[in-house]
Amino acid sequence: MNVWGQDRITWLHKANPVVKLGILLLLFTMTVLTHNLDFIMYQAAVFTVCLVLLCGLKLWKIGLFSLPFLIAFVSSASTMMLFGKGETIWWEWGLFKVSEESFYRGLHLGFKGIAFAAEGLLFVTTTSSVALFYGLMQKLKLAPKFAYSFMASIRLLPMVWEEFLIRRQALQVRGMRPVKGIRGLAERANMFAVPLLAQSIRRAHRVAAAMEAKQFDGDQGKGRTFFYESRYSRYDLVIMLLLAAAAGAAYLFSIWAPGFGIGDVRFN
């Protein structure tokens, strides 16, 4: 049983990956261009709710995946608050200075990070890499040699990790114990980096030879058929309307119930 697998299938899983990618790129652009503190706060809240409802994972998994982004929220917001520019000083001690402007810009930066994280996790947790690259080849005419190269490289990563574990166990059986300190780090690099790199080069060469034998080049690959067909469905329209409604709701909430009411946070 895969602990990290999906717990349930939602509409977002059934939507076409290319459509999802286009919608989320538009949402990313909207988030980047948002400078209103209330709007970005509601974006973070609304897309977090969408993540909980649509990603198909249990709450503890969502919390675990979101932990790095919460740390990024705290670090980026606090750094901006303590070192940002501002004229209305609230507190100052040595190099640290918290002003009204830097405080609100810190909150804005933190909320923007959470909105990015929620949008990105919405896509990553509901889209398989195979479905994405098959969709890119069939709908956006991505050359098969690039798509299959990416898919092959993703499949090779677990093999590299398995080789690392095998080599570590083999060194432990032989009684190899690197010394501590900088010299020990250099010894570990010699023990692991060079053999793993050599094996990866050999494996990549074999994959490249196999792909050439099957004519995975740009011209020959244009007319090939695909094992998985990427199709549009009614779920694409549902997801488009749902995420557009989420962005619209965030905008309307920022007008009807502004939490801060300070508008643009950029420093003039």
Domain ranges for the chain: 11-129+233-256, 144-214
User: Could you give the C-alpha distances from 19 to 22, 31, 126, 234, in angstroms and in order?
Assistant: 5, 19, 13, 11
**pTM for the complete prediction?**
0.78
User: Could you give the C-alpha distances from 14 to 10, 52, 96, 134, 255, in angstroms and in order?
Assistant: 7, 17, 50, 15, 33
User: Could you give the C-alpha distances from 245 to 42, 221, 251, 255, in angstroms and in order?
Assistant: 13, 39, 10, 15
The DSSP secondary structure of 7-64, one letter per residue, reads: SS--HHHHS-HHHHHHHHHHHHHHHHT--BHHHHHHHHHHHHHHHHHHS---HHHHHH
C-alpha torsion angle, residues 13, 149, 164, 201 (rounded to 10): 180
In eight-state DSSP terms, residue 88 is S
User: Could you give the C-alpha distances from 165 to 74, 171, 173, 200, 221, in angstroms and in order?
Assistant: 35, 10, 12, 15, 37
Per-residue pLDDT of the chain (268 residues; tens, 9 = 90+): 566 677 788 888 899 999 999 999 999 999 999 999 999 999 999 999 999 998 888 888 888 888 888 888 888 888 888 887 778 888 888 888 888 888 898 899 999 999 999 999 999 989 988 889 888 888 888 888 788 888 888 888 888 888 889 888 888 888 777 677 777 777 777 788 888 888 888 888 888 888 877 777 656 556 677 888 888 999 999 999 999 999 999 999 999 988 887 777 776 6
Half-sphere exposure of 2 toward its Cβ, with a 13 Å CA cutoff?
5
